Structure 1
């Protein structure tokens, strides 16, 4: 279930019935203010709605302040160990902080962070990943996914005990099944928004497949309020993949290109045309199903739920709208005619 509570990261609501938010994280040196701001702008342009930045020590604070002041999206401060860095990040303009209360130290330090977070009215993200399961749970007889979830719940309890409930929870595993079970477990225990992801998912293709399987399963079970696709490399790819995943699953508006896998009956260059259609519609933020089918044997029938489509014929292609053929065109006119039909449909929508 999507979380019951709603948390605000500046003016962006997370949880409840609000849209799922795409996040990413900079991989630039935080002390390099200009480079970090440029990357944040690029991430925002790609579709990131929230960006996380590592704040390692107090030395990063002046640069972090400038980053927050010049960012086009809310900035989350990623903090480890030093409660003073968390406090100064909040004062410097962080829209949210990510800490694990357990590694902050004594309870009074956690309370100091909570005090400032309350004063500035910003949420705190807590949680656990597969590399930070508490020993008392890891050494117990409970399943590993439960140990992971209970480790995160312990962090939540530390926040609650400090009188703080403006919480976002994150549980991440490198194992997709464990990740699913842990997030499902915790979603049934607490009402806080969940930030979901597969941690250390690998390089592009591996991360794409693993994250799509693991996070898709969660989203289709209505679990998850914010999402990050972790990819070793350019974080822009994280945003583009997350955006596409949410669109294809129906959680975000945008075009879906339906294309047949091709066979001996194929009469047109399906992959080439479908790729062009993707390029034509890449900036569209409206629901639009476009089908590119190789032949008329099954084309209109299999893609009759599409808003518009084309099926290859011996001499060109048949263009259909809502399953009904509206025009048959020759091969040399096929691409331009189909593009015009798509443009007209977009204008109507």
Structure 2
């Protein structure tokens, strides 16, 4: 079985590549990754020499660069994870998000159709649904109402995938996941940002009143859901992948503070993000019933393991939090004071 994983050097993508190589003995994995700022070859250093693994440095929006791979090597499945994914960056400029998330998806769909790819898995996000009120859960039948340029680009990609199925009969599945966390996550994201800032003696930025709610999902549980969606999902269907684990940002902060021996004095409110969605939460009943999936990791244990990983992998994240990362950080949080003692 030959599987193309796009964005395989990213956070979730690297976990997918590693999981496939460890759990599917007959798999060959081709990682398509152009190495944008969040793509890191160190994420897959442990499998780089596996004879069943291959990396191609190419953008998913580069039709001429991608097509020869599919034409010369029969591809059984595509797991499409490559995406510009940080909301703050999309607010600053949406153009890279349209190029990668929309154009890149259409390029892959067209190539998959022309070369007879057996299954196309589009990995999407709960953010396409927009902001949820204080009650209820998003279901797969709910309309998409994205509020950020990032979410709009993912919603557009999802619609292209659905159109490929309805118009051309392509064998596609869409998954929409809640917020992931775990090892190898780029440290501009909330949980690794706070953990690594703590280890550097820096304050923690928190948007607005800190009461925005997210449903947190451990990355290994998400990867298992993706495999089940790839192999068991019904063509043309959407599956929500949620962690049953709603937390406000302050809940997350308190859980991390207790593990790191700090108090709330290190948390510094910053002006709220433009168009900041108040709450996301997914109804994952369909995935549980049709795919036989449920998250296996509880929040407390998985968060403790995540903190420990960043504590013992300082070289990995310290090499990232330099240069342009520092410039982006200062621009995004200009009101932060210098590091303070607890």
TM-score normalized with structure 1 length: 0.31
- Richer in strand (by share): 1
User: TM-score, normalised to structure 2's length?
Assistant: 0.32
When Rg is computed on C-alpha atoms for both structures, the one with the higher figure is: 1
